[in-house]
A and B are shown apart, each in its own frame.
Chain A
Amino acid sequence: MSSSYSNYTNSPCAACKFLRRKCTSDCVFAPYFPPEEPKKFANVHRIFGASNVSKILQEVEPHQREDAVNSLAYEAEARLRDPVYGCVGAISVLQRQVLGLQRELEETNADIMRYASCLGGETTSVYGARRG
């Protein structure tokens, strides 16, 4: 009873508010879904479902749960924005950027090699002229 009294004074978490249930002291969602961010849980619930999220949270270590929730919230939001590709679309975009930068690095590197060989040749010729 004391636990329910303490929760009566505290606001229920966003998850329990959304699910319209009593937010107990051992609510698995409460630490990660504060009542000030209702949309976070709504998105996650819409895409993954509360039971799946609960199972995932129970499978990871307690100190990693916040990161897990944040990543799930990110993926849920991405999937809502883009139902076809979700967060995988962003991965594809970034991957292309990496490939583009690599190509640019290779080209610049090739330019440097060219200049280095040119300068080496010119230096030799200057020294040769002086000695001659």
Chain B
Amino acid sequence: MSQIKTIHNPIGSLERFLDLLLISLIVYMTLKGGTSGACAACKYQRRRCAADCPLAPYFPAEQPKLFQNVHRLFGVRSIVKILENLDEVQRPEAMKSIIFQSYVRDRNPVHGCLGITQQLQYMIWVAEEELKAVNLQLQLYRNGQNHANSHNMMIHEIGEKQEDLTSQLDLGMGLPVNANQGNNTIPFFSPVSETQPQQQPQMSYCNDVNNNDYNPTPDSCKEILNNHNASSAWGQNQFPFNHHNYGFINQNEHCSETKNNNSVMAIQSQLVNLQMASNKQEEEVDAQNYDEIHQFLEIIDDSQSFTETKEVYASSSGESLKEPIDEIGEKELRRAATCFSLTSVN
């Protein structure tokens, strides 16, 4: 029995030795940051990545640049402090926003996220001005349709009255007609009086577009922080760089094309085209490090070109909007005048 024991013990000890060797090897690799060991944060800091490392879930080892950006802007202690004050549920969203903010700061060290905020504010302003112009245009069309309907009725009335007049003239009676009116008999030509007042607001609007200075400031951006509850507007796990159709435009291209085309319709079609172009740009993303972030931010131009182009756009938008509105007014007048001249009383 004792002989059997002596035979088995060396084998058991060998196995134990091998197990210990394996464990020490694993520990060694973990300490050294082995292939599947340390997160990017611990790798960067050259320290052991513990099993309960708070940053490991957010900084995979394959994307070291993400952590470098965050470390450069916030620092490890600050991030850990932020995470400690949040619930488990909120931590992934907080880390996403921190990573995004750091990435933006890396791309634009001067303005960071404030630059994007100001660009968006500018785009909103441009879109609102454009919407005003387009609504005015729509109003003109609506009025034009109403006038077309009333013209049809007027033509019939004039036809009937002409018959009455000729019949009365034949009988020696006449309607009291002002000799000065001639072809410009106004009572039947209501569109002139109705369109003239409408042209004035168009002119004043265009003047406003020319005169308004758009100056986004950090204080105006702070108003957004005050007025909007970001958590309610955020939606569930929605993030700006998850959207693919931002409609953000390269403002250099936008302004040069606006100058050339000079029409509201062209501006709108450009927005649609540039949306499609932004979708194409997304295909060229460096998928290694910044999948979602690139999709959002490649579309955003630098703040320098933004400040250069916004003035150009502000000066050109007024002129571009003015012409189509004037053309519509003139067309209406011509159409109405044509209607009247064919039925005027000589």
Contacts and interface: CB of A to CB of B under 8 A. Distances in A.
B113 A88 contact: yes
A76 to B, nearest CB: 10
A123 B331 CA distance: 11
A6 interface: no
B246 A98 contact: yes
Interface residues of A, number: 59
Contacts of A119: 141, 144-145, 148
B231 A102 contact: no
B111 A85 contact: no
Nearest to B246: A95
Interface in A37-82: 46-49, 51-52, 55-56, 59-60, 64, 67-68, 70-75, 77-79, 81-82
Given A70-B218, A81-B225, A101 B128 contact: yes
A60 to B, nearest CB: 5
B238 interface: yes
A108 B135 contact: yes
A83 B130 contact: no
Nearest to A122: B148
Contacts of B131: 101, 104-105, 108
Interface string B60-91: 00000000000011110110001001100010
A30 to B, nearest CB: 19
B46 interface: no
B322 interface: no
A93 to B, nearest CB: 4
Given A105-B268, A105-B271, A112-B141, A94 B114 contact: no
B240 A91 contact: yes
Contact of A92 (B121, B130, B233): B233
Nearest to A64: B110
B142 interface: yes
A77 B124 contact: no
B224 A85 contact: no
Given A108-B134, A115-B138, A115-B145, A98 B110 contact: no
Interface string B132-165: 0011011001101100110110010000000000
Interface in A97-132: 97-99, 101-102, 104-106, 108-109, 111-112, 115-116, 118-119, 122-123, 126, 129-130
B339 interface: yes
A126 B117 contact: no
Interface string B105-127: 10001111111110011011001
Contacts of A92: 230, 233-234, 238-240
19 contacts: A48-B78, A67-B110, A71-B111, A77-B222, A82-B230, A84-B90, A85-B97, A86-B113, A90-B221, A92-B238, A92-B240, A97-B124, A98-B127, A99-B245, A102-B127, A106-B268, A109-B134, A112-B137, A123-B148
Interface of B: 72-75, 77-78, 82, 85-86, 90, 93-94, 97-98, 100-101, 105, 109-117, 120-121, 123-124, 127-128, 130-131, 134-135, 137-138, 141-142, 144-145, 148-149, 151-152, 155, 218, 221-222, 224-225, 228, 230-231, 233-234, 238-240, 243, 245-248, 265, 268, 271-272, 335, 339, 342
Given A87-B113, A92-B233, 14 more contacts: A78-B225, A83-B94, A85-B97, A85-B231, A91-B117, A94-B120, A96-B233, A99-B243, A99-B246, A101-B124, A115-B138, A115-B142, A115-B145, A122-B148
